Structure 1
Amino acid sequence: LLQEFYGCLNQLFYSQMRKDDELVCFRDLKPGARHHYLVVPRTHVGNCKSLRKEHIPLVEKMEEMGRSVLQKKKVTDLDDIRMGFHMPPFSSIPHLHLHVIAPASQMSIRSLRNYGPQSYWFITVSGAATYTISLWVVLHVCFMFTIFRSLCVK
């Protein structure tokens, strides 16, 4: 499936909206609104559940590129957008990709089900950052507790 995704990336070379050394952005093959783009890191990151604290700058850069593409496409209301990731097991591609959708107010019913605010399997950029930081805090606390407990047992 991942090989298929990379093959698709090569086919989408001509539909690229923007690219740099770390990211590439292209139009979604099944758009959920008039503007629906995917921002994809060039290096492999599994999915939004694979994100760690060190990925926060990458996700911020992905969001920045998404906003930049929308501005390039003359989207003026940047408050009427959706940016986020599908949560496994509902992500069809095992490679991190940010959905950038505008205008959010004009998404179809199918798109709202997949990308809308009530979707349980779509996490926004801010939600992904919160999830990542929360996971890091939980792991850190567990690690510290384990060390503390081992010191107390002696």
Structure 2
Amino acid sequence: MKNKTLAVWLTFLLGALGLHRWYLLERYDALARLLPIPTLLGAYGVWRARSLGVDDLWSWLLIPMLGFTLAGCALNAIVYGLMAPEKWNQRFNAQAPVDAPAGATNWVTILGVGAALAVGTTVLMASIAFSFQRYFEYQMEDAQSLSQPAPLKKSAG
């Protein structure tokens, strides 16, 4: 029996590593294998930003990968938490009756949905803001370098 509350918290806390898919699907499917890639690349971007500074080009390209993966997993946790018990049991507990308690929503499930909503929204907005800020800063730097006149060559005389 797949418990909805456990799935919500597992998806919210460890979903970026694909562990929730192993729990729900009882196998390590392709998406579960792919989820750690943007997570680890984004974590590497955070490490680069902390050690090299936020002006590092690779860090601002990699950090949003982590943010978008975390936000996507938070959204998935919200979808699981708000799923009707009958639909939950039909999808993840096919052998159980539709009114099995594993698909029930309780206060711990709702707290998980609320935490996923708060953290997921914050991470998503921070990732978007960071991406656009760095993009526009690089655009401004390129524009300034184009607008500055080239140094004059001294003629040999």
> TM-score, with normalisation over the residues of structure 1?
0.38
Q: More helix by proportion, 1 or 2?
A: 2
Q: Which has the larger radius of gyration?
A: 2
> TM-score, with normalisation over the residues of structure 2?
0.37
Q: More strand by proportion, 1 or 2?
A: 1
